[in-house]
Chains A and B, each alone.
Chain A
């Protein structure tokens, strides 16, 4: 990967004067966008701004084809069996909520989640517990925050209807042994929903190889436009799901008393969609594939290894997750006891234009359980450089000496 050339694809990374220069280490929140994605979005608004799948005119036809191509691109990206297994959503949250609200839940069905799920993969199940009497069980992590297969196995019983886990944690970057988890769940007769919001940007996902039942991801974390997402579902399962949001574009026909829904994915995509976003997402996955996940993982590891090595001499620094950066992907999450994480983040920005996330990263439950007020999360991506990592390390050393 020619890093210099790659960075030129990202307009926001164009060289600026020192005061305006940014080091973007908040990629777990959302990634930056390459010009290819911006051009695709612009092309929709400038050249073919129309409805998809409804009107018959040329512009509409063009949009319909572009959206269909995007769906094919995403299906290929995930190695789905067919493009109809791809449902466009607004984000991972919506994908998870779609499953949560569409499965035919029975009272006392059990949902298993881990103890460090993003609120997106916790609140829908808490809500279901109240509304439908579903039981929510938490799989505790090991001491180093890695997934505890034994604990999982212990909780996996016949009542477990769904296992819903983050493939990669946004808290510490640790990935779960998804293949093994899915195999065990299926043996138990349980469905598996993977929250791939943090996995998709860093690892090639093969839904067929994984045999995962549902998988949700966000477009804005894989170079795509904000407010775009995907829910993958095995076609047979999607057919069984009741649509949870209904309206225009989801039906063949209606009478005053009844409606005949379209097959997936249309029955889940109610109302006018974010066509520019969908087309941009198609461009994003193609761009990501052109970079290649091997190169992405190599760069993540290079930077995370450097940061980990350089910061281990700060005695006060508490790392969240395993010591080995290889297990943390592109995430370096830490806190200094007694120091407000927001203060560190603000200072990094003020000092050196370094953008990191601070706080509880929508994993309040984990922080509350561990009685930690918050952490600073530097999340790296393939367009970040070693110079940026050095700047981060130097700045953090300064901060640790001052605070």
Chain B
């Protein structure tokens, strides 16, 4: 058992150290001999055991005695521990690949592959927005009326709903990926702006007004708003320029922006989004799965198209 244990440990160390690689080869030879019911002739196990005992004995004779007496048992224990932790490591890597976190989708516990937890970061909705933070389990689109929101590729089989915020870093980070995914997959893409930063109210109203006037140009505007410097988002001059650049009827848009009906509709939409119980942006729904925080592109793609998404 020790040979297998040593092979596992030295194999890992061998990634970084040439001397460990040599020992790992010896351990492998030993393992192959053992599995074919032949004795290990290199003396590898004896050599390693002696070295370990020699190191331990200088620190504690009692520990060395116990180790010597229970070496095989301890080898089994460590083997099982390493085997178990290897399984967890593989599971973690799989989860990281599939969900962007070693611990599973939207789990913010420490992940060595994403030590800063970037894939779970959100721009939190402030308490002044009348939103509670109910926890992930309650985040749902059930009962949320999305009929008034802009939709790209309506009627497609797969459905993507993004609750984002033009001025929020994480939404800005993930928006191009979601947009790309929607374009590539042809999925139905609904975008709901929820201005976590209060100052960007203007852009929310602008989106609504542009969408009313020209749905195609709305998506162009959306791309512009996510791409532009955040400082521009509450600038009327920038808004006017964007309207002009898109070839929209500026007077009509401006009237819409100033209209109390627009404000009412914006409020209604915000309240509708709030019913989803989301607690930060970006929150993305792909079919029935909720993704909170900016995940890597592959995570969204896998959710929709499976592990081999890149074949599509």
Which residues does A use to contact B, with CB under 8 Å?
340, 342-351, 398-399, 401-403
Contact = CB atoms under 8 A, between A and B. Distances in A.
Given A342-B43, A399-B57, A402-B57, A350 B65 contact: no
B46 A347 contact: no
Given A346-B54, A347-B54, A350-B54, A402 B49 contact: no
A401 B65 contact: yes
B264 interface: no
Contact of A343 (B46, B55, B65): B46
B57 A342 contact: no
Contacts of A342: 43, 46-47, 50
Nearest to B66: A402
A329 to B, nearest CB: 28
Interface in B54-110: 54-55, 57-58, 61, 64-65, 68
Contacts of B23: none
Given A402-B64, A402-B65, A343 B49 contact: yes
Contacts of B65: 401-402
Nearest to A344: B50
Most buried by A among B43, B53, B58: B53
B25 interface: no
A351 B58 contact: yes
Kindly list the 10 A-B residue pairs having the minimum CB-CB distance in the complex, ordered from nearest: A350-B54, A346-B50, A347-B54, A343-B50, A402-B64, A351-B54, A402-B65, A350-B51, A347-B50, A398-B57
Given A340-B46, A343-B46, A350-B50, A398 B61 contact: yes
B242 to A, nearest CB: 70
Contacts of A403: 53, 68
Most buried by B among A344, A347, A348, A349: A347
Contacts of B54: 346-351
A330 to B, nearest CB: 24
A402 B46 contact: no
B53 A402 contact: yes
A401 B58 CA distance: 13
B169 to A, nearest CB: 51
Given A346-B46, A398-B61, A398-B64, 4 more contacts: A342-B43, A346-B54, A399-B57, A403-B53
B55 A350 contact: yes
Nearest to A348: B54
A232 B19 CA distance: 45
Interface of B: 43, 46-47, 49-51, 53-55, 57-58, 61, 64-65, 68
A347 B53 contact: yes
Nearest to B54: A350
B294 to A, nearest CB: 49
B64 A346 contact: no
A375 to B, nearest CB: 16
Contacts of A398: 57, 61, 64
A345 B43 CA distance: 13
Contacts of B50: 342-347, 350
A193 B58 CA distance: 47
Most buried by B among A340, A343, A401: A343
20 contacts: A342-B46, A343-B50, A343-B53, A345-B50, A346-B51, A346-B54, A347-B50, A347-B51, A347-B53, A349-B54, A350-B53, A351-B54, A351-B58, A399-B57, A401-B61, A402-B57, A402-B61, A402-B64, A402-B65, A403-B68
Contacts of A344: 50
Contacts of A402: 53, 57, 61, 64-65, 68
Nearest to B69: A402
Contacts of A348: 54
A349 to B, nearest CB: 7
Contacts of A349: 54
Contacts of B49: 343
B38 to A, nearest CB: 19
Nearest to A342: B46
Contacts of B53: 343, 347, 350, 402-403
Contacts of B68: 402-403
A401 B57 CA distance: 10
Most buried by B among A342, A345, A403: A403
A347 B53 CA distance: 7
A146 to B, nearest CB: 33
A281 B246 CA distance: 96
A398 B65 CA distance: 10
A402 B56 CA distance: 11
A343 B47 CA distance: 7
Contacts of B51: 346-347, 350
Contacts of B55: 350-351
A351 B57 CA distance: 7
Nearest to B51: A350
A27 B105 CA distance: 65
Contacts of A351: 54-55, 57-58
Contacts of B47: 342, 346
A299 B54 CA distance: 29
Contacts of A346: 46-47, 50-51, 54
A390 to B, nearest CB: 16
Contacts of A343: 46, 49-50, 53
Contacts of B61: 398, 401-402
A396 to B, nearest CB: 11
Nearest to B55: A350
Contacts of B46: 340, 342-343, 346
A347 B51 CA distance: 6
Contacts of B64: 398, 402
Contacts of A350: 50-51, 53-55
Contacts of B43: 342
B26 to A, nearest CB: 14
A340 B46 CA distance: 9
